[in-house]
Structure 1
Amino acid sequence: DVLIRVFDVRGRLVKMLVHAAQDAGRHTVVWDGADGGGLPVSSGMYFCRLEAGDTALTRKMLLVR
Structure 2
Amino acid sequence: MKRALKGNYPNPFNPETNIAFALPEAGNVSLNIYNITGQLVWSHSSWYGAGEHEITWHGKNTFGEDVASGIYFCQLNFGEKSATNKMVLLK
Question: Quick check: TM above 0.5?
Answer: yes
TM-score with structure 2 setting the length? 0.67
C-alpha displacement of 1:20: 1.4
Q: CA RMSD in A?
A: 0.8
Unaligned runs of 5+ in 1: none
Task: Name the % identity.
Answer: 34
| 1:46 and 2:72 correspond | yes
> Which residue does 1:55 correspond to in 2?
81
**Structure 1: which 4+ aligned runs deviate by more than 3 Å?**
none
TM-score with structure 1 setting the length? 0.92
- 1:20 and 1:27 map into 2 onto residues whose CA distance is 12
- 1:22 and 1:10 map into 2 onto residues whose CA distance is 29
Give the total of aligned pairs.
64
- 1:59 and 1:32 map into 2 onto residues whose CA distance is 16
